[in-house]
Amino acid sequence: MKLFNRLFRRAAPAIDDAQWQQAVQGMPFLHRLDADELARLKSLAARFLDSHAVSGAGGFEVGNDVALCIAAQACLPVLNLTLELYDDMAGVIVYPAAFVVRHSEVDEAGVVHEWEAAMAGEALDAGGAVVLSWEDAQEDHLWDDGGNLVIHEFVHKIDMGSGGANGCPPFLAAFHAGIDPARWKAAFSTAYDDFCTRVDALERRLPPDFDEENEHHLDLYAELAQALPMDPYGAEAPAEFFAVASEAFFARPAPLRATYPQVFELLEKYYRQRVR
Ligand SMILES: [Zn+2]
């Protein structure tokens, strides 16, 4: 049936050229792409929008410009791979700003803990949606360069293709025969451990009464974080390290390449893109 679908698949509605140019202009990390790559990204974005609804929530209305901006960033990691990596996704939901998610967890003693957290983005597992805050997608918060919320969440979605987000994405026979999964795991876990050590050292330099609401504290944090090759959030878990390293790979590759050359080389092989 797959072949039949492919043969008779109708063409996705084309993206307006002027709107596309405007979207690309607004995303400097796309400027390294040549004309052929940009044309392929555009047709991939058209197919993405044809098969995945981008809907507003919390009163947000998704205009063409927003949908296009999200689609272009979602398609960048799969530009030389396949859109099928996003098959297991219900759609994209966009809030105007950070959204509150209710979490609950049962601890070892069987006690249920519930809490609420404001989120900038979330990729839901098992066929779920990608949820984004448009305000956060547009602006970089603590990390001035190299942060990219949309790429981050879509990379989680790719990662989930091999059974849950764990920092080890699916290796596809058609594209990734040259990647040794054991080497991937070794290189990423060594880099992750090193990065956690660096983030711990950074946190030791923060005032003991560090307060996320305090602007001076946040400025100090941002200043210290500049010495890191990527957003300190990458130290949260191996899955976050892969997502944050991927953001850096596409949006600000030089520090990542200098600090973790093996991870950089594996990301080059995985995404099949040269970003230098
Ligand atoms: Zn994440």
Give the per-residue pLDDT at 164: 86
103 and 212 assigned to the same domain: no
Query: Are both 273 and 189 inside the same structural domain?
Result: yes
Residue 8 Cα, ligand 1 centroid: separation in angstroms?
A: 37
Expressed in angstroms and rounded, the spacing between residue 189 Cα and the centre of ligand 1 is: 17
CA 51 to centroid of ligand 1, rounded, Å: 24
187: CA distance to ligand 1 center in Å?
Answer: 20
Distance (angstroms) between ligand 1 centre and the Cα of 154 equals 9
Report the alpha-carbon distance of residue 20 to residue 38 in Å, rounded. Answer: 10
Within this chain, do residues 118 and 195 fall inside the same structural domain, yes or no? no
- C-alpha 207/C-alpha 191 separation (Å) is 27
Asked if pLDDT for residue 143 goes beyond 60, the answer is no
The answer as to whether 230 is a domain residue is yes
Degrees, nearest 5: CA angle 200-100-83: 80
For β-strands 99-106 and 92-95, DSSP reports them as: unpaired
Residue after which a domain boundary falls, among 88, 115, 139: 139
Question: Do 124 and 22 have their domain in common?
Answer: yes
CA 150 to ligand 1 centroid distance, Å: 10
User: Which two three-digit tokens encode residue 25?
Assistant: 């202009």
In angstroms, what is the span from residue 10 Cα to ligand 1's centroid? 34
DSSP 79: T
> Can you tell me the distance from the alpha carbon of 156 to that of 89, in angstroms, rounded to the nearest whole number?
11
**What is the pLDDT, as a whole number, of residue 172?**
96
Encoding tokens for residue 274? 């040269």
Alpha-helical (H) ranges within the chain are: 2-7, 17-25, 35-51, 64-75, 134-138, 149-159, 181-204, 215-225, 238-251, 253-259, 261-271
With respect to residue 28, please indicate whether it lies within any of the assigned structural domains. Answer: yes
Question: How many structural domains is the chain composed of?
Answer: 2
Residue 255: give its domain's CATH number.
3.40.390
Contact criterion met (CB below 8 Å) for 32 and 76:
no
> Which band of pLDDT confidence, cut at 50, 70 and 90, is reported for residue 12?
confident
* 78 phi, psi to nearest 5 deg: -105, 15
Residue 128: CATH number of its domain: 1.10.472.150
Ligand 1 center to 230 CA (angstroms): 13
Write down the pLDDT at residue 144: 53
191 Cα to the center of ligand 1, angstroms: 17
Q: How far is the CA of 102 from the centre of ligand 1 (A)?
A: 16
123 and 30 together in one domain: yes
Closest CA to 244 of 176, 152, 130, 142: 152
Instruction: Find tokens 């880099």 and name the residue.
Output: 191
Q: In the block, which residue shows the tokens 């290189």?
A: 187
**221 and 108 in one domain?**
no
Identify the band that residue 14 occupies on the pLDDT scale cut at 50, 70 and 90. confident
Structure tokens at 268: 């080059």
114 shares a domain with 60: yes
148 token code pair: 């990219």
Is there a domain that residue 260 lies in?
A: yes
Count the neighbouring beta carbons within 10 Å of the beta carbon of residue 57: 14
Mean pLDDT computed over 155-159: 96
| Phi, psi values for residue 255, rounded to 5° | -65, -35
What are the tens digits of pLDDT across the range 241-273?
999 999 999 999 999 999 999 999 999 999 999
Rounded to the nearest integer, the mean pLDDT of the chain is 91
Q: Which domain holds residue 217?
A: 181-276
Å from CA of 140 to ligand 1 middle:
15
